[in-house]
Amino acid sequence: MINIVLFGKPGAGKGTQAEFLKTKYNLIHLSTGDIFRFNIKENTDLGKLAKTYMDKGDLVPDEVTIKMLESECNQYPNSSGFLFDGFPRTISQAQALDAFLNSKNEEISATIALEADDEILVKRLLERGKTSGRVDDQDEEKIRNRYQEYNEKTAPLMDYYKAQGKFYSVDGIGSINEITERLSLVIDKIK
Protein backbone atom coordinates (compact mmCIF):
# COMPACT_ATOMS: atom_id res chain seq x y z
CA MET A 1 0.00 0.00 0.00
CA ILE A 2 1.25 3.48 -0.85
CA ASN A 3 0.00 6.54 1.02
CA ILE A 4 0.97 9.96 -0.27
CA VAL A 5 0.35 13.40 1.17
CA LEU A 6 0.22 16.02 -1.56
CA PHE A 7 0.41 19.55 -0.28
CA GLY A 8 1.15 23.10 -1.25
CA LYS A 9 -0.45 26.50 -1.02
CA PRO A 10 -3.96 27.02 -2.39
CA GLY A 11 -3.73 27.20 -6.18
CA ALA A 12 -0.52 25.15 -6.39
CA GLY A 13 -2.25 22.48 -8.50
CA LYS A 14 -2.87 19.74 -5.95
CA GLY A 15 -6.35 18.90 -7.25
CA THR A 16 -5.27 18.86 -10.89
CA GLN A 17 -2.27 16.64 -10.20
CA ALA A 18 -4.24 14.36 -7.88
CA GLU A 19 -6.54 13.44 -10.80
CA PHE A 20 -3.58 12.11 -12.80
CA LEU A 21 -1.80 10.45 -9.89
CA LYS A 22 -4.84 8.59 -8.55
CA THR A 23 -5.33 6.91 -11.93
CA LYS A 24 -1.66 6.19 -12.59
CA TYR A 25 -1.05 4.63 -9.16
CA ASN A 26 -4.57 3.28 -8.44
CA LEU A 27 -4.99 5.44 -5.33
CA ILE A 28 -8.09 6.69 -3.57
CA HIS A 29 -8.01 10.49 -3.77
CA LEU A 30 -9.17 12.08 -0.54
CA SER A 31 -9.53 15.85 -0.88
CA THR A 32 -10.71 17.52 2.30
CA GLY A 33 -11.71 20.53 0.21
CA ASP A 34 -13.95 18.39 -2.01
CA ILE A 35 -15.42 16.63 1.02
CA PHE A 36 -16.16 19.96 2.69
CA ARG A 37 -17.69 21.41 -0.49
CA PHE A 38 -19.93 18.33 -0.85
CA ASN A 39 -21.11 18.71 2.74
CA ILE A 40 -21.70 22.44 2.21
CA LYS A 41 -23.71 21.77 -0.94
CA GLU A 42 -25.77 19.13 0.88
CA ASN A 43 -26.17 21.55 3.83
CA THR A 44 -25.08 18.94 6.38
CA ASP A 45 -24.17 19.94 9.93
CA LEU A 46 -20.49 19.44 9.06
CA GLY A 47 -20.96 21.50 5.91
CA LYS A 48 -22.53 24.39 7.80
CA LEU A 49 -19.73 24.37 10.35
CA ALA A 50 -16.98 24.09 7.72
CA LYS A 51 -18.52 26.94 5.72
CA THR A 52 -18.25 29.39 8.61
CA TYR A 53 -14.46 28.86 8.65
CA MET A 54 -13.92 28.60 4.89
CA ASP A 55 -15.82 31.82 4.17
CA LYS A 56 -13.34 33.68 6.36
CA GLY A 57 -10.39 31.96 4.69
CA ASP A 58 -9.61 30.02 7.89
CA LEU A 59 -8.85 26.33 8.25
CA VAL A 60 -11.53 24.02 9.59
CA PRO A 61 -10.65 22.83 13.16
CA ASP A 62 -8.60 19.65 13.45
CA GLU A 63 -11.12 17.53 15.33
CA VAL A 64 -13.78 18.04 12.64
CA THR A 65 -11.36 17.37 9.80
CA ILE A 66 -9.80 14.28 11.38
CA LYS A 67 -13.10 12.54 12.15
CA MET A 68 -14.32 13.25 8.64
CA LEU A 69 -11.14 11.88 7.03
CA GLU A 70 -11.07 8.72 9.14
CA SER A 71 -14.66 8.05 8.10
CA GLU A 72 -13.73 8.47 4.43
CA CYS A 73 -10.71 6.14 4.72
CA ASN A 74 -12.79 3.46 6.37
CA GLN A 75 -15.04 3.35 3.29
CA TYR A 76 -12.14 1.82 1.28
CA PRO A 77 -10.74 -1.10 3.30
CA ASN A 78 -9.25 -2.85 0.24
CA SER A 79 -7.62 0.12 -1.47
CA SER A 80 -4.10 0.14 -2.95
CA GLY A 81 -3.43 3.34 -1.05
CA PHE A 82 -4.52 6.89 -0.51
CA LEU A 83 -3.61 10.24 -1.96
CA PHE A 84 -4.28 12.84 0.73
CA ASP A 85 -4.95 16.26 -0.79
CA GLY A 86 -5.30 19.13 1.67
CA PHE A 87 -4.64 16.97 4.71
CA PRO A 88 -2.79 17.05 7.01
CA ARG A 89 -2.41 20.81 7.37
CA THR A 90 -1.00 20.91 10.89
CA ILE A 91 1.41 18.87 13.00
CA SER A 92 -1.47 17.64 15.19
CA GLN A 93 -3.34 16.47 12.06
CA ALA A 94 -0.19 14.69 10.84
CA GLN A 95 0.19 12.96 14.20
CA ALA A 96 -3.49 11.95 14.16
CA LEU A 97 -3.12 10.61 10.60
CA ASP A 98 0.00 8.65 11.61
CA ALA A 99 -1.85 7.17 14.59
CA PHE A 100 -4.85 6.26 12.43
CA LEU A 101 -2.70 4.62 9.73
CA ASN A 102 -0.57 2.83 12.36
CA SER A 103 -3.77 1.34 13.81
CA LYS A 104 -4.20 -0.29 10.38
CA ASN A 105 -0.50 -1.29 10.12
CA GLU A 106 0.07 1.38 7.46
CA GLU A 107 2.05 4.61 7.23
CA ILE A 108 2.62 7.65 5.06
CA SER A 109 4.98 6.67 2.24
CA ALA A 110 5.86 10.21 1.12
CA THR A 111 4.85 13.82 1.47
CA ILE A 112 5.24 15.85 -1.70
CA ALA A 113 4.99 19.63 -1.70
CA LEU A 114 4.14 21.50 -4.90
CA GLU A 115 6.17 24.69 -4.66
CA ALA A 116 5.21 27.93 -6.45
CA ASP A 117 5.59 31.69 -6.03
CA ASP A 118 2.76 33.41 -4.12
CA GLU A 119 2.14 36.03 -6.80
CA ILE A 120 1.67 33.37 -9.48
CA LEU A 121 -0.70 31.46 -7.20
CA VAL A 122 -2.79 34.54 -6.36
CA LYS A 123 -3.31 35.14 -10.08
CA ARG A 124 -4.28 31.47 -10.58
CA LEU A 125 -6.85 31.59 -7.80
CA LEU A 126 -8.39 34.86 -8.90
CA GLU A 127 -8.77 33.39 -12.40
CA ARG A 128 -10.26 30.19 -10.96
CA GLY A 129 -12.63 32.28 -8.86
CA LYS A 130 -14.14 33.83 -11.98
CA THR A 131 -15.55 30.46 -13.06
CA SER A 132 -15.60 28.27 -9.94
CA GLY A 133 -18.07 30.30 -7.92
CA ARG A 134 -15.86 29.75 -4.87
CA VAL A 135 -16.06 32.81 -2.64
CA ASP A 136 -12.63 32.08 -1.15
CA ASP A 137 -11.05 32.34 -4.65
CA GLN A 138 -12.59 35.71 -5.53
CA ASP A 139 -11.08 37.95 -2.87
CA GLU A 140 -7.34 38.62 -2.86
CA GLU A 141 -7.34 39.47 0.85
CA LYS A 142 -8.93 36.09 1.68
CA ILE A 143 -6.43 34.32 -0.58
CA ARG A 144 -3.51 36.01 1.17
CA ASN A 145 -5.07 35.11 4.54
CA ARG A 146 -5.11 31.46 3.42
CA TYR A 147 -1.39 31.76 2.56
CA GLN A 148 -0.68 33.23 6.00
CA GLU A 149 -2.58 30.30 7.57
CA TYR A 150 -0.54 27.94 5.40
CA ASN A 151 2.77 29.51 6.41
CA GLU A 152 1.93 29.46 10.11
CA LYS A 153 0.29 26.05 10.37
CA THR A 154 1.16 23.92 7.35
CA ALA A 155 4.73 24.83 6.47
CA PRO A 156 6.03 23.26 9.74
CA LEU A 157 4.90 19.92 8.31
CA MET A 158 7.97 20.05 6.09
CA ASP A 159 10.22 19.63 9.13
CA TYR A 160 7.92 16.95 10.58
CA TYR A 161 8.16 14.82 7.44
CA LYS A 162 11.83 15.67 6.78
CA ALA A 163 12.61 14.19 10.21
CA GLN A 164 10.96 10.97 9.01
CA GLY A 165 12.82 11.06 5.68
CA LYS A 166 9.49 11.33 3.81
CA PHE A 167 9.49 14.91 2.48
CA TYR A 168 9.97 15.79 -1.20
CA SER A 169 9.66 19.18 -2.89
CA VAL A 170 8.52 19.47 -6.51
CA ASP A 171 8.46 22.58 -8.70
CA GLY A 172 4.77 23.37 -9.29
CA ILE A 173 5.34 25.78 -12.19
CA GLY A 174 5.15 24.52 -15.76
CA SER A 175 2.73 22.56 -17.88
CA ILE A 176 0.45 20.02 -16.24
CA ASN A 177 2.36 17.21 -17.97
CA GLU A 178 5.75 18.53 -16.80
CA ILE A 179 4.56 18.71 -13.19
CA THR A 180 2.97 15.24 -13.39
CA GLU A 181 6.28 13.85 -14.67
CA ARG A 182 8.18 15.47 -11.77
CA LEU A 183 5.73 13.98 -9.26
CA SER A 184 5.91 10.55 -10.92
CA LEU A 185 9.69 10.50 -10.62
CA VAL A 186 9.39 10.95 -6.85
CA ILE A 187 6.62 8.37 -6.43
CA ASP A 188 8.37 5.77 -8.58
CA LYS A 189 11.43 5.99 -6.28
CA ILE A 190 9.41 5.21 -3.14
CA LYS A 191 7.13 2.47 -4.48
Contact in structure between 25 and 13 (CB atoms under 8 Å):
no
Contact in structure between 114 and 168 (CB atoms under 8 Å):
no
SS3 163: helix
SS3 183: helix
Contact in structure between 125 and 181 (CB atoms under 8 Å):
no
Residue closest to 90 by CA, chosen among 172, 151, 166, 4? 151
- pLDDT (tens digit per residue) in 50-74: 888 878 888 778 877 887 788 888 8
pTM of the model: 0.81
Catalytic annotation present for 144: no
- pLDDT at 10 > cutoff 90: no
Query: Mean pLDDT over residues 69-89, rounded?
Result: 89
Domain ranges of the chain: 2-190
Query: What is the C-alpha to C-alpha distance for residues 2 and 53, in angstroms, rounded to an integer?
Result: 31
CA angle, 126 then 131 then 133, to 5°: 85
Annotated catalytic residue: which of 51, 123, 128, 153? 128
Annotated catalytic residue: which of 9, 124, 142, 146? 146
| pLDDT > 70: percent of the chain | 100
Residue with more model confidence, 114 or 86: 114
Annotated catalytic residue: which of 14, 124, 166, 182? 14
Domain 2-190 has CATH 3.40.50.300: yes
Catalytic annotation present for 162: no
- pLDDT (tens digit per residue) in 14-28: 889 999 999 999 999
Catalytic annotation present for 37: no
